[in-house]
């Protein structure tokens, strides 16, 4: 008899052969591993992801969208994969913008233990870092099915002391929507961010999210540039202020408008009544040659002041990057590509290990800049 482990729900089995399906969470055998092979470190998770994603993502030490990376294919007429749009300038700009931000190191003062706790939409989190609304991991060498991916992100985020966002892609439908299925299985502990479909379809999706007890809902406004949706018969649309107002009024939950890169459009979202603005260029995947999100974030914060919660994603790879974004004006920071790799490499445990690593490096960055609490992170710690 051998011992087997489900990397989604942590269930264990004893049998001669590898189980075909997990009796607890219904994940298939791609998520079941020999108990002795459970990854114990983040390095082991990344090694497993590198093997499973061969030819798509090499899980490089530096995820920057440079032309020497195998993901940067769209410039040569290939599917975008995990790369950036066009020549990848927007993808690279995210990392470059963060790299250009420098800390003021502080070493004189009373000793302290950094406190990373925060509140997000009334939820108490251990630290202000969340999994962003990625989707489509199931197509990466068929390493895992989409619902198992979504569950791993949601459960791993919860186990790490935070919350996960979930997105959509072209094969998500009203009838077969892995994000909603995962949210139902996780008792609503997560935040769905839907593609900017028709108002009627969005309202149906929002109603389902509300029925599962989700904490908030949102629309991926920058997803209007997702041509793959339209190619597969699922059109997406730009949304007017009137459209956004209509969705805000329709939902009983806090509403998130993701994909904002301009101060004037951030103000329009505030005026429309949204609760959260997500500063994002879609990971550099919908428009080439945009600035990095770290460049526009302080401009947006200056425009809207402290009247609204702001999240940001784009090029964030470490806890140091997280603290930079907080100092530039964000209330919470989202991780995308790294969470995909963590889920592929280790399921729920992989996501948890990665987020815990981010929290640990965030604490170190806070300590060395004299930032005792998350609320103290501001431009004074930047050089």
Could you tell me the two tokens for 240? 């007017």
Q: pLDDT by residue (tens digit) across 45-86?
A: 999 999 999 988 999 988 988 888 888 765 566 667 788 888
Give the pLDDT of residue 65.
86
Rounded distance between C-alpha atoms, residue 175 and residue 132, angstroms? 23
pLDDT at 260 over 60: yes
In this prediction, residues 325-333 reach a mean pLDDT of 98
Strands 129-131 vs 165-166: parallel, antiparallel or unpaired: unpaired
The secondary structure of 217-270 as a DSSP string is EEEEGGGGG-HHHHHTT-------HHHHHHHHHH-SS-EEEEEE--HHHHHHHH
Query: For residue 62, what pLDDT is reported?
Result: 86
Residue 372 has pLDDT above 70, yes or no: yes
Q: What pLDDT does 151 receive? A: 98
CB 351 within 8 A of CB 157: yes
**SS3 at position 195:** coil
Residues 6 or more apart whose CB falls under 8 angstroms from that of 165 comprise 130, 131, 132, 133, 190, 191, 192, 193, 218, 334
d(C-alpha 127, C-alpha 192), whole Å: 20
Residue-averaged pLDDT of the chain: 95
pLDDT score for 24: 95
Percentage of the chain lying above the pLDDT 90 cut: 85
At 231, the pLDDT band (50, 70, 90 cuts) reads confident
Mean pLDDT on 18-27: 94
Residues 247, 202: contact at Cβ < 8 Å? yes
327 near 378, Cβ under 8 Å?
yes
185-222 pLDDT per residue, tens? 999 999 999 999 999 999 999 999 999 999 999 999 99
Assign 3 to helix, strand or coil: strand
Q: Flag whether pLDDT at 328 surpasses 80.
A: yes
Per-residue pLDDT of 108-137, as tens digits, reads: 999 999 999 999 999 999 999 999 999 998
For the chain, domains (ranges, CATH) are 1-36 (2.20.28), 118-381 (3.20.20.70)
Q: What is the mean pLDDT of residues 345-369?
A: 98
The fraction of the chain above a pLDDT of 70, given in percent, is: 98
In this prediction, residues 163-181 reach a mean pLDDT of 95
Whether residue 310 has pLDDT greater than 90? yes
pLDDT of residue 228: 84
- Report residue 226's pLDDT band, with 50, 70 and 90 as the boundaries: confident
Q: Is the pLDDT of residue 320 over 70?
A: yes
């Amino acid at each position: 008899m051998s011992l087997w482990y489900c990397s989604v729900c942590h269930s264990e089995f004893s049998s001669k052969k590898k189980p075909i399906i997990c009796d607890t969470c219904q994940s298939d055998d791609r998520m079941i591993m020999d108990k002795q092979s459970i990854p114990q470190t983040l390095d082991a998770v990344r090694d497993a992801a590198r093997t499973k994603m061969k030819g798509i993502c090499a899980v490089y030490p530096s995820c920057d969208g440079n032309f020497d990376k195998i993901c940067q294919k769209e410039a040569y007429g290939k599917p975008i994969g995990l790369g950036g749009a066009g020549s990848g300038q927007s993808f690279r700009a995210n990392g470059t913008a963060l790299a250009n931000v420098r800390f003021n190191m502080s070493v004189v003062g009373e000793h302290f233990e950094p406190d990373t706790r925060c509140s997000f939409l009334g939820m108490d989190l251990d630290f202000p870092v969340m999994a962003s609304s990625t989707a489509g991991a199931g197509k990466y060498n068929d390493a895992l099915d989409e619902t198992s991916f979504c569950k791993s992100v949601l459960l791993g985020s919860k186990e790490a002391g935070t919350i996960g966002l979930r997105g959509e892609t072209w094969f998500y439908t009203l009838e077969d929507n892995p994000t909603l299925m995962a949210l139902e299985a996780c008792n609503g502990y997560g935040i769905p961010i839907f593609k900017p479909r028709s108002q009627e379809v969005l309202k149906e999706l929002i109603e389902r999210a509300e029925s599962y007890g989700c904490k908030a809902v949102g629309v991926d406004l920058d997803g209007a540039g997702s041509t793959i949706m339209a190619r597969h018969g699922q059109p997406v649309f730009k949304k007017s202020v009137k459209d956004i107002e209509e969705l805000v009024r329709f939902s009983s939950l806090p509403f998130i408008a993701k994909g904002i890169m301009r101060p004037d459009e951030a103000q329009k979202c505030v005026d429309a009544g949204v609760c959260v603005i997500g500063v994002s260029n879609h990971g550099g995947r919908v428009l080439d040659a945009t600035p990095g999100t770290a460049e526009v974030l302080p401009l947006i914060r200056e425009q809207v002041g402290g009247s609204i919660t702001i999240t940001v994603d784009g090029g964030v790879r470490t806890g140091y990057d997280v603290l930079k974004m907080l100092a530039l004006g964000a209330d919470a920071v989202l991780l995308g590509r790294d969470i995909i790799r963590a889920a592929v490499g280790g399921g729920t445990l992989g996501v948890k290990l990665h987020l815990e690593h981010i929290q640990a490096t965030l604490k170190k960055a806070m300590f060395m800049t004299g930032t005792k609490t998350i609320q103290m992170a501001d431009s004074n710690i930047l050089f």
